[in-house]
Structure 1
């Protein structure tokens, strides 16, 4: 019969794969902070083939409280397989003169999201992430989408806090966020273990994220704070803000079942 499944572990029935076959459907509540890092440090995180953005050091910090499922939506009835949280930083650049973003750092709190991200070219690591939620009722425990509403996010990796941000809403946004608006171009990299080939990866390619059926709520914006902290095992502080722009909150949904290979590296 042969083993079945989209990813390991592949089994006789194929039900045990960590990541199911696409399509993958997503919806999430987002907090985004537009900011600028040190220009040289930001440029150092750009992969081969992506040039620095003319607005030097332009970055975005993103936190998302996600729910996702594969076709049929069975994961929605088993929420531990559908819900996860995520924090990431993108650096803006140019690819063939087009504005793009590339994900320099990203943490998630579930293993299926980690593996699914690697398939897409996101350099995901496990972390502990907490994001303020809103439930649409108002009241002391629900900030809502209104002027004065306050949201926060924290992220820790190996018990060290590496990121924290806040957004205080002021008004509906006319067009933001801006620093994570460009197409995402990442590096898919899978190393070899064979002796003598540790620097000759099995996969090393520049890829462009592809999504469809996008849905987005009204976007609110306001003032923001952001701190990125280093650790012995992390270099995220190299992308710490030197200037902070606006913060945003909104809900976003889409479907993924494709990926474009831009070039081999």
Structure 2
């Protein structure tokens, strides 16, 4: 049977995603703020702990992506490459190191959901939109005073909306999503009442990264209640800032930090050879 993940077939042609490396080009609109540290802590299962400084920091990121496998063929069949997402990121600590962690994420394509299953992102389907810059016509330019809007909805209900007003260039695209990701990969047992059949804490990050100029800004953000979502449990207590940046990212796997929550550490605890230090919002799924 061939194919990277589901479905595996005799030829592998029907597999929803190719094997890594995965390549991404995207426009990121990020808003950062502080919420109640206890609300972040409740989303950090063992062996993770809150970040030692700024434990209540949150980044809510809208991204408009084009993605592909090593061959790049999806770029010429855009329905297979283009998707949008919105994800909430917090920071956490493990064995004295600070990590970023995606706690909520919505995407609008099935292949993005399946990639998230492999990477440990808790992806759900949603409706995501954001203003695109353009040098002509009424669309905003990348300049002081330009205004960008973004919305998130899921299950027929709006969950978030923001308006960002650019104030000028900046050195970096925020700090919350600037670390390797620490995610859990879970697979429930097929036997009712039994522990998870698979549980591991993994680290992953960009194998390669490039980015354009960073623009900072001010923002307004509204979060809305839903019977099936919990984003409003991370309310805005103090705004930090907003950012716009175009990025290119390569993702090519990660490493296991721990198996079972709080369990035994694997022998190989070195960073993967394809990982690079991340200084911008460049997590992808």
Query: So what's the TM-score if we normalise by structure 1?
Result: 0.94
Q: Where does residue 273 of structure 2 map in the other structure?
A: none
- Are 2:64 and 2:85, in contact at CA under 8 Å, matched by a contact in 1? yes
1:240 aligned onto 2:235:
yes
State the 4+ residue runs in structure 1 displaced beyond 6 angstroms. Answer: none
The CA RMSD measured in Å over matched residues stands at 1.2
Which of 157, 166, 172 is the matching residue for 2:169?
172
Match of residue 146, structure 2, among 149, 157, 161: 149
Q: Secondary structure at the match of 1:237?
A: helix
Q: Decide whether the 8 Å contact of 2:200 with 2:258 is kept in 1.
A: yes
Alpha-carbon distance in structure 1 between the residues aligned to 2:186 and 2:29? 28
Distance 1:213 1:164 in 2: 31
| Cα separation, 1, equivalents of 2:234 and 2:166 | 24
Instruction: Give the secondary structure class of the aligned counterpart of 1:241.
Output: coil
User: Which one is further off, 111-120 or 41-50?
Assistant: 41-50
In structure 2, the residue matched to 1:29 is 27
In structure 2, relative to structure 1, the CA distance for the partners of 1:138 and 1:148 (3 Å cut) is farther
Aligned counterparts, 1:1-265, within 5 A = 3-53=1-51, 54-135=53-134, 137-140=135-138, 142-197=139-194, 200-264=195-259, 265=261
Task: Structure 1 unaligned segments of length 5 or more: list them.
Answer: none
Q: Once the two structures are superposed, what CA deviation does each residue of 1:8-56 show, in whole Å capped at 9, x if it has no partner?
A: 1111111100111111111110001111111111111112122112213
* SS of match in other structure, 2:112: helix
Q: Is the 8 A contact 2:173 2:245 kept in 1?
A: no
CA distance in 2, matches of 1:63, 1:255: 18
How far apart are the structure 2 equivalents of 1:138 and 1:249? 19
How many Å separate the matches in 1 of 2:107 and 2:81?
A: 13
Query: How far off is 1:146 after superposition?
Result: 0.5
Asked if 2 retains the 8 angstrom alpha-carbon contact of 1:224 and 1:245, the reply is no
CA positional deviation for 1:253: 1.1
Task: Count how many residue pairs are aligned between Structure 1 and Structure 2.
Answer: 259
Aligned-residue offset at 1:184: 1.3
Quote how far apart the aligned CAs of 1:191 are. Answer: 1.4
Equivalents in 2 of 1:34, 1:40: separation in Å? 17
TM-score, L = length of structure 2: 0.88
Moved more, 30-39 or 106-115: 30-39
Q: CA deviation at 1:83?
A: 0.4
